[in-house]
Structure 1
């Protein structure tokens, strides 16, 4: 189950994430949870506890439980308690509960609780997002200094100076403006080398994104896996399977004659966004996101990503992201860019990423072509996960406008 924060709760999460860089999850409490003393340990709760070495539910047998330390942090009450992690005796459902009258006294039905792990003690931290907020001094004491803000003090002055200078020549030189040119030019002006590194562009903590078009925002590139799919049977060499995918499922196009082209956007089953019969499906049991291909009366798995790989890539690429809006014009045969607005986002929420895949607002673009047979030869333009700009702020726990003027 995915829990949608209200606007004031989102603002509180944004404040917390100035200081907490660790993963988190949220749970909306219900009467049933409080009356029975039972909360389902969904995949996101289990992931947070396991990732940071706090507890692994898979080590339990049915009927077994283990107690772990938890710290509740509030404005008027902070205390330590015990959290029971257990599997039900019959079906083995994973569950948890926080013991003690103090916890029950701080939460009510409808409250949204935030669950994360302390930076060094590897103790669970719970914050009630629906009541009085903790001030930033207390948050910095609990989670440490705002490292992203420290990097911003070095990055933003440079971007402001660039913005104040008006239009800048396209770094690549003469020719038609390409979608990536605004970003490449900004990085060149800042003295940042353009490369394909997996970590964030600036000091490893701030990703820079700049564009002029109204296209979707690119999040990251990550190729799918193909074990157990028709592509694995078609192409035994795993390194060639991305090209094989275009050859196996591609179509002929006038733009690339005598080639197999595949230029599609893949969305959810109810918003597939392509005419080739592909859609994305979240398989929570297997902890994967699958590319499904409709065929005859059913569908088959054509590729997939593991949750862990997607989450790692999302957090590695976007600890914080500065989205810089640019305006463009042609000056003779060379393009020029002016940088006019900036927005900082941080702390992407993986459970929201999965939710947006289900709703069709996060999609996967396949962009490339290859030869029809023999040696693979063609071009892959960087298949990427992308999000609609209007939904971007849902994905990130924190968002703020940076004034460039």
Structure 2
């Protein structure tokens, strides 16, 4: 079961995430859970515990005596206590996954855990290099920022952000900076490359976040243009592209060859420069749209034949691949707006605004695809037959600027 936080509880989550950015699980308390001290270990919690190598429910024998226990920090307003959590499987044929909280009934009498409260459970690496579980009641006895700082400290992202903040202030207040590549006409990537140069980041096409794999830097000059999230080529197994092209490394080019149109800029080539949205908002005239297949756990790139109206899956991404790349690229993100000018043949950039976001929500990512707010851009051209020749400009997942706050939960303007 996926538990949804109310707006005031979401505000507490956002406060927590100003200090720590690890994955977390939510549990909405019921009277039965408290009375029997028998809480459901939902899939998100099980994944969290497994990834930290704390609990592998699949390896546990049925019965409470085979469970495993850990000390956890219960962070509250004005105090932090160490309490014991036990993770186990019920002694029935299903072996239901459960956990218990030490002295939960007494805590109910004390008003620390109540029916209807939403508990936040996460793990961080403590000073001894060991995983430490902690709990926070998002509904009552909410800790202050000082309570959180004293109990769980700050993660590597927050620490890095504090380190680079003075340099960001210098850049924002520094006026116009010369294009890092030198004289010449402006290219779309120059505004970002120059900022990365000013920050001391080596410009490269790394898979993870730009700054030490912890902070992604996204820079653009126009406020109305879409924001790029990440690049990730689709898979083609079982499609017409795979049938046409045996070599997987050539299938992106084969896609443009099969589905592209005559190129005006490159005679004799096929071009495919399109934005692909949902069925309700496809955003192209070539018959392509995205379909989220919840049951099959894929996002399908569908092409509808204009001659007969028949739809076929032209390519696809698995949920797993999309989730991994989204989280890898955006553990946190600096969103920077800039303006440009040209002086004596030198393009210059002035960086005006910075926003900072933490980890995105994958479920929200999928819902935004369905709504046509997150789209996929295909950008490239190739030969019509024979040896592949042409260019792929980096096909990318993109989002409408106003929806970033929905995907990332909250985006904070960085004030200096």
Q: TM-score range by the shorter chain?
A: 0.7 to 0.9
Which runs of structure 2 are paired with 1:170-209 in the superposition (5 Å)? 170-209=179-218
Q: Alpha carbons of 1:209 and 1:40: their partners in 2 closer, same or farther (altered >3 Å)?
A: same
1:320 to 328, 332, 339: 332
CA distance in 2, matches of 1:7, 1:339: 33
Q: Alpha carbons of 1:130 and 1:258: their partners in 2 closer, same or farther (altered >3 Å)?
A: farther
User: 1:251 touches 1:261 (CA, 8 Å); kept in 2?
Assistant: yes
CA distance in 2, matches of 1:363, 1:375: 30
User: 1:17 touches 1:397 (CA, 8 Å); kept in 2?
Assistant: no
Q: Offset at 1:153?
A: 3.4
SS across alignment from 1:148: helix
CA distance in 2, matches of 1:203, 1:292: 36
Which residue in the other structure is 2:115 paired with?
108
Q: Alpha carbons of 1:55 and 1:299: their partners in 2 closer, same or farther (altered >3 Å)?
A: farther
CA distance in 2, matches of 1:87, 1:229: 46
User: 1:2 touches 1:355 (CA, 8 Å); kept in 2?
Assistant: no
User: 2:19 touches 2:158 (CA, 8 Å); kept in 1?
Assistant: no
CA distance in 2, matches of 1:88, 1:270: 47
Q: Offset at 1:126?
A: 4.2
Q: Alpha carbons of 1:287 and 1:41: their partners in 2 closer, same or farther (altered >3 Å)?
A: farther
Q: Alpha carbons of 1:45 and 1:132: their partners in 2 closer, same or farther (altered >3 Å)?
A: same
CA distance in 2, matches of 1:393, 1:184: 25
Which runs of structure 2 are paired with 1:284-303 in the superposition (5 Å)? 284-295=294-305, 296=308, 299-303=311-315
C-alpha distance after superposition, 1:277-323 (max 9, x if no partner): 32223333443322223345553332222333222222222222111
CA distance in 1, matches of 2:285, 2:28: 38
Q: Offset at 1:38?
A: 7.5
Which residue in the other structure is 1:220 paired with?
230
Q: Alpha carbons of 1:135 and 1:244: their partners in 2 closer, same or farther (altered >3 Å)?
A: same
C-alpha distance after superposition, 1:122-143 (max 9, x if no partner): 5754433233322334434554
User: 2:136 touches 2:142 (CA, 8 Å); kept in 1?
Assistant: no
Q: Offset at 1:250?
A: 1.4
CA distance in 2, matches of 1:221, 1:239: 16
Which residue in the other structure is 2:289 paired with?
279
SS across alignment from 1:199: coil
Q: Alpha carbons of 1:107 and 1:375: their partners in 2 closer, same or farther (altered >3 Å)?
A: farther
Which residue in the other structure is 1:146 paired with?
155
Q: Offset at 1:236?
A: 1.0
Q: Alpha carbons of 1:150 and 1:55: their partners in 2 closer, same or farther (altered >3 Å)?
A: closer
Q: Offset at 1:263?
A: 1.5
Which residue in the other structure is 1:248 paired with?
258
CA distance in 2, matches of 1:267, 1:108: 42
SS across alignment from 2:261: coil
Aligned length: 399
Q: Offset at 1:184?
A: 1.0
Q: Offset at 1:345?
A: 1.3
Which residue in the other structure is 2:42 paired with?
41
Return the structure number with greater relative CO, CA threshold 8 A, min gap 6.
1
User: 2:75 touches 2:134 (CA, 8 Å); kept in 1?
Assistant: no
User: 2:57 touches 2:97 (CA, 8 Å); kept in 1?
Assistant: no
Which structure has the larger Rg over C-alpha atoms? 2
User: 2:21 touches 2:157 (CA, 8 Å); kept in 1?
Assistant: no
Bigger mean CA offset, 70-79 vs 336-345? 70-79
User: 1:14 touches 1:399 (CA, 8 Å); kept in 2?
Assistant: no
Bigger mean CA offset, 27-36 vs 155-164? 27-36
CA distance in 1, matches of 2:367, 2:32: 24
Q: Offset at 1:388?
A: 1.9
Q: Alpha carbons of 1:265 and 1:138: their partners in 2 closer, same or farther (altered >3 Å)?
A: same
CA distance in 1, matches of 2:303, 2:63: 41
Q: Offset at 1:211?
A: 0.8
User: 1:23 touches 1:349 (CA, 8 Å); kept in 2?
Assistant: no
2:402 to 385, 390, 393: 390
Q: Alpha carbons of 1:12 and 1:231: their partners in 2 closer, same or farther (altered >3 Å)?
A: same
Which residue in the other structure is 2:268 paired with?
258
TM-score norm. by structure 2 comes to: 0.81
SS across alignment from 2:352: strand
CA distance in 1, matches of 2:277, 2:371: 8
Q: Offset at 1:329?
A: 2.5
C-alpha distance after superposition, 1:221-246 (max 9, x if no partner): 11112222222211111111111111
Gaps of 5+ in 2: none
CA distance in 2, matches of 1:187, 1:177: 16
Q: Alpha carbons of 1:274 and 1:84: their partners in 2 closer, same or farther (altered >3 Å)?
A: farther
CA distance in 1, matches of 2:374, 2:29: 27
SS across alignment from 1:172: coil
Q: Alpha carbons of 1:253 and 1:60: their partners in 2 closer, same or farther (altered >3 Å)?
A: farther
